[in-house]
Structures are given as C-alpha cells and as structure tokens.
Amino acid sequence: MPPQSLVPAASVLASVKAAVNDVYDTAALRQLDAAHYLHPFTDHAALKSKGVRVMVRGEGIYLWDSEGNKILDGMSGLWCVNVGYGRTRISEAVYRQMETLPFYNSFFNTTNIPAVNLAALLVELSPPQFNHVFFTGSGSEANDTNLRMVRRYWDLLGCPGRHTIISRYNAYHGSTVAGSALGGMEGMHEQAGTLPGIEHIGQPNWFESGQGMSENEFGIVAAGWLERKILEIGPDKVAAFIGEPVQGAGGVIIPPATYWPEIQRICDKYGVLLIADEVICGFGRLGAWFASELMQIKPDLITFAKGVTSGYVPLGGVLVGDRVAKVLTEKGGDFNHGFTYSGHPVACAAALENLRIIVEEQLVQQVALETGPYLKSKFASLGDHPLVGYTNSLGFVAGLNLVKKRADKPHDCVLFNPDLGVGMVCRGYMFDNGIIMRAVGDRMIIAPPLVMTTAQIDEMITRIRSALDATLADIRQRGWL
C-alpha cells in the first residue's frame, strides 16, 4: 500500500480535465480556486461571492478567458508583457535552456552561460555608470537587495551610522517585509508595519497637491521635501533615496520635468546614494531603455524586473553603478546575501531572447518616436469626456482622473467622494467593453504592451470611451452626479 499522502495528490491530478476545443469547465475551476487558492492583494470573501475570471490564452495584445471572451490587455499583464503574448522565440529559448541546464546556482564559485551573457547585455543597454548586475527572482527581492547593499556600502566605507533610506508615500517597491516598508502604501504599512531606518516624504503628484503652482514650480517644491528630510535626519545618517521615475502602482504619477534633476542635485549635495526603481519604467516602457536617461538622472542603483523577461519567467535584479560596485568588490569580504534563483539559467535565457526581440523590432524607438506620441494625443482626446478631469501620459503609460464635474483647469474640477468607488465601477465597464484598465482610486491607468500598433491604440481608445459613457450613465442612475 502506498503511504496515504500519495493518494489525494494522485486523485486531484486525475480529476483535472483538459479543455476540449477551448471549452473550459469554468464553474469547476472557480470552485477549486475559491476552495484552495489564496490570491495576492485580494479580499477573499468578496472574491468568493463574485468568482474569478480564468485567463487561458494570450496572443499579441489580446487575452482570452475561459468563457471565450477576447480582451485587449491595456496593462501588459501587470506592467510586464512588453513584447506581447505568444512569442514562440521566448518559449523555444526557455525549452532549449531547460533541456541543456534547467538549473544551477551561482554560489560557490560557479556561474552559467545565460547569466553571464545577460549581465553583459544589461551593462551594454544601461547608462554608462553601470558595469555590474546582481540577479534576484523578483522586483521585491531586488529592493531588499538594494537595502542590504547600500547599508553594506556605507559600512565598508566606515560610516555604519549612515543607514536611513528615504522613500515616498504612495510609492510601490514590492511586498516583502523590506519592500513594503520601502514602499509608501498606507494599507501595507497598516498590516506589515514599517522598518526602522526607512523614512517617507510626499510624492510629486501635481494634480493632488500642486494647487496654485505650475507643474514645474511644484516639481521644485516636491523635491525640496527630500532636502528638508535629509536635514531633519542628519545628512551623516542618510544612506540613500529611492524612487520610481514614474510611480506605477500609485497611479501613474508622472512627475514635473523639474523634479528629478532637483532630486539628483540634492542627493549629490549630501552624498546620498540615488536608487531608481525601474521595475515598471525600464526596458522601453517610457520610450527609453531606462527612464533614468529621460529624467536626466544618474542613479547609483537601478532596480529591474518585469519587462526584463516580459513576464514570461520571473526575474529581477539590481544594476550596480561603479560608485557602489567599486567599494563592494574592492574592499573585500563576503556580501552575505543572495537567493537560490539568483542568475537562474532559464530566466536569464528568457530575458536574453526577450531583449533580442525588443532590439530587433526596435520597440523602444517605436514607443519613443511613433506609438508613444500617437497614444499621447489619442489619450489626451479623452479629456473632453464629462467624467475626465485630467489626463497625462509618457511613452506607454497613461492615466486619467475621473471627476464629478470637469473644468478647464484640473484643480478646479470637483472630485467624487473617494468612498463611492467610482474607479472600481469604471473598471467593471472597461472589462465589459473588452479592455483591461486598472483603477487606482478614481484614477484609471494603462500600460499597454509595447508592440501595440496605432490601429490598436485607436481600438483601445474607442473601448475606453464606451466604458466611460457606460460609467457616466450608471453613476447618473445611482444619483452620484
């Protein structure tokens, strides 16, 4: 008799039915999901009553669910499927690597070929101060690495008191203990607490906080909050400042042009390391290989993940600039940090093929010069809708604020009571209109795959407009207007 523990596993496997002609048993899948699968960032009681949407297939910029609905993916999965779905080249590269060497670690004086090649390629694609890469399995782990690395850097320089990292409210830097503490999400801090030695300043959100100022005036004011915080803590205690060039999960907050150069000036003035979290912004998302180039900053560390593999296989890491790498590599001693899957050969093989596609299809140039500007003008045209108070975009991210009453000046718009959840209502209509658009409060955001064509942008804007019309009709009926 086999041990009892083998029996249930075998019975579950036997009961999982394959789809026949693309017809899925959605009810059964929903039931199993509700019974066993704890989803990230999810209210499970609410999810159980609604039931999940089961995604089964992707091709280009489109997804299909188990009920046969075709949906335009305006969010690239979760800000990551930059080259679109169904790229056989990546799956073949992964298959080849799995057949050759599915895994070996990078500890104990060993390495593997895809990791070496990927490190070299990332150095070639990144700004000139970067000559080293540390691999992780995710963006969260990469930001944990940043925290460990900058503290190690200052310790090696004989400044062990210089451990504080300054971040921003409403930032997202991941969901590990360090990632959530580095981030500035209230809901996460309430549940996970923060960590000693991490401080937060305000975000450069002109729509929310820039009343009475031009965007550029506000950019200088918001950057000034960093200087104030450094002086409050004491410059000899501040290790680094971390920020997303454009905040993603916080609602596509595109800072004024004056913000980042002023942040750089302040970091330089006090010798504070600058960390650009480019988990979303990197690999062409904003129309440059790295957003730091666009923002005219020279970070010491860049966090990456998502677009490096277009999400086909998990991979993250940190680009380590010369200032930090020199101290880490020359001062000697172990840096006691790393993960089983640091430099995973299969993930690195996926990244290499993904980056090859981005280079060969000139997707970064396409977003910078053709489709990004096209998206900008089309997205801005939504600004005449009675529900839309403010739109902006950069490269292939864009956002619009739903307002109760629109006005010519964004700050004169009347906002909805946030407790109504107008954004969530609108998100539902987006789904119904065959497009995935994310709601962050009452701000609706997109980050489409970089392969999206101008004709597909037209289709996306048409779908968004219909969903806005449906939202307007609904909330009128509810008496919210």
Q: Is residue 277 close enough to count as binding ligand PXG by CB under 6 A?
A: yes
User: Of 383 and 421, which has the nearer Cβ to ligand PXG?
Assistant: 421
Q: Is residue 77 close enough to count as binding ligand PXG by CB under 6 A?
A: no
Given 199, 244, 262, 353, the residue binding ligand PXG (CB under 6 A): 244
Least distance from ligand PXG to the Cβ atom of residue 447, Å: 9
Q: Is residue 174 close enough to count as binding ligand PXG by CB under 6 A?
A: yes
Q: Is residue 305 close enough to count as binding ligand PXG by CB under 6 A?
A: yes
> In the stretch 316-345, what mask flags binding to ligand PXG with x, by CB under 6 A?
x-----------------------------
Q: Is residue 173 close enough to count as binding ligand PXG by CB under 6 A?
A: yes
Position with the least CB separation from ligand PXG: 139
Least distance from ligand PXG to the Cβ atom of residue 58, Å: 18
Q: How far is Cα 355 from Cα 243, in angstroms, rounded to an integer?
A: 24
Region from 53-61, 106-114, 243-251, 343-351 binding ligand PXG, contact rule CB under 6 A: 243-251
Given 52, 54, 78, 177, the residue binding ligand PXG (CB under 6 A): 78
Q: Which parts of 107-146 interact with ligand PXG (CB under 6 A)?
A: 138-140, 143
Least distance from ligand PXG to the Cβ atom of residue 345, Å: 19
Q: Is residue 280 close enough to count as binding ligand PXG by CB under 6 A?
A: yes
Least distance from ligand PXG to the Cβ atom of residue 177, Å: 12
Least distance from ligand PXG to the Cβ atom of residue 27, Å: 28
User: Of 275 and 464, which has the nearer Cβ to ligand PXG?
Assistant: 275
User: Of 164 and 303, which has the nearer Cβ to ligand PXG?
Assistant: 303
- Binders of ligand PXG: how many residues, by CB under 6 A? 17
Given 85, 172, 289, 312, the residue binding ligand PXG (CB under 6 A): 172
Q: Is residue 167 close enough to count as binding ligand PXG by CB under 6 A?
A: no
Least distance from ligand PXG to the Cβ atom of residue 79, Å: 6
User: Of 297 and 475, which has the nearer Cβ to ligand PXG?
Assistant: 297
Residues that bind ligand PXG (CB under 6 A): 78, 138-140, 143, 172-174, 244, 248-249, 277, 279-280, 303, 305, 316
